[in-house]
Structure 1
Amino acid sequence: MHIGGGHSDKLPPHAVLLSFDDAYADHFEYVFPILEHEHIQGAFYPPVKAVTEHTVLDVNKIHFILASTPEDNFPVLLNEIKQLILTNTDEFGLKSYDEYFKELAVANRFDPAEVIFVKRLLQVALPEVLRKRMADILFEKIVGIEESAFSRELYMSVDQIKCMVDCGMHIGSHGYDHYWLGSLPREKQEFEIKKSIEFINEVGGDVDNWTICYPYGDRNKETIQLLKENGCKLGMTTDVDLADLTDHEGDAIFNLPRLDTNDLPKDANAPVNQWY
């Protein structure tokens, strides 16, 4: 992926950039060989800490907590969360469980309200220290697999990412801790960005043409200003739409929408979709 002044190549009609978040091992095992065989460059966005320190992203801990909870046992999970909130209320000055539920339990196009509640509570609504504490407790109790071993199975290794770079794949930034960047103070955002650049350089990526895919699509004006200061070429969001690369006004290049795989037909014989 080459972005920037002086490059005269024009994209063909209906051009597509394939992007893959979170450095899952499945991407290396299944996606990368197909891209290489077809001579297609993919853009991969690894969260640095998960890959280099063998931790499990909180978002993945939450996914597997939810996946390991049968639907008829979901009230038990919610009660566990309620008790953890009660236990930590004084230390962290928390609101009541019912207040959090009313605020956060709003269904979206992918998940029912109760699932969204668990995700939002443990991803962003609670103080960082408590989010990690609760996710760790629930992961150990419900999933029951040691974190480092789980991480090595779930994510690519540094060597696998280097191999993809050697074969022409693009490696971009997906943060260090995979935080909601827009929720962080400026200095923490800068840390997340700089650690990503260091990692891109470590694996042999192109630090002169680096890009970012915002974790959870979250960013603010400070995020974009820091990206500009650190030479980022574009930023991809989770907003659902086609990217308009003719829009050169303002910060459009740092707010590019993407289509999720769920927005596209899975059947090869499906009629032409609305995005084509």
Structure 2
Amino acid sequence: MAPVAGGGIAGSVRDSLVVAKRNLIRMMRIPEMVIFGLIQPIMFVVLFTYVFGGSISVGGSTDPQLYREFLMAGIFAQTVTFATAGAGAGIADDMHKGLIDRFRSLPMARGAVLTGRTLADLVQTALTLVVLAVVALLVGWRTHEPFGKVLAGFALLLLLGYAFSWIGALIGLSVRTPEAATSGGLIWLFPLTFISNAFVPVQGMPAFLQHVAEWNPFSATVQAARELFGNTAGQQMESVTGAWPMEHPVLASVLWSVLIIVVFRTLAVRKYRSATA
């Protein structure tokens, strides 16, 4: 029988930080995990900027600079959500190797294993965003709001990434292999990110997709980041369908992310307990 964890909230926080530290050390010892995680978003920045930058109309203009400013919030949001696959694969790998069973034999809070893992993934995502922002600046992206607002925009992006890492945790606990977790973590992300306002204006979509895109949690964060970065030049910021999240994107972004964390953390911790019972 597994030891019973004690210490209440303080003990749970301490245990979570210990697990997070363990995962961060592992990441530092395997730097290719971080390097390969950077390649895809950098490719997206370069390809979308130089391949589509002069052909996609934003506010009736095909000015490449307008598209850069329109695009970058979407690329940042896609990057933080695509970390979902890595989170799921990492947890599935720990399950497959029996590491989770060893954690379970210790007197630690049951949710600490998952919380620590998601916190470590959040740190890696933050580092990725820093590098990606530098690349974006190099290709011509600029912000037009005070530094505090820009930081708030990145904070919303990280909150969305943290929320989605709990979806990845649930997926990782629900499959048998890391490969299945990677596939399961990506297959639904592509329609989520592309049926949104991330890469093209919603106005050009069919009417039924406009409703889907504007109620998409991903779109709310992208819209909020654009406003906080000041990347709204030439854009129609009003909702096409009258959707509440597009009219109040910052508040909607926070609410969507918190809701996802509450729901999927509850489901993931419950799955963790049943999977290791």
TM superposition score normalised by structure 1 = 0.29
More strand by share: 1
TM superposition score normalised by structure 2 = 0.29
More helix by share: 2
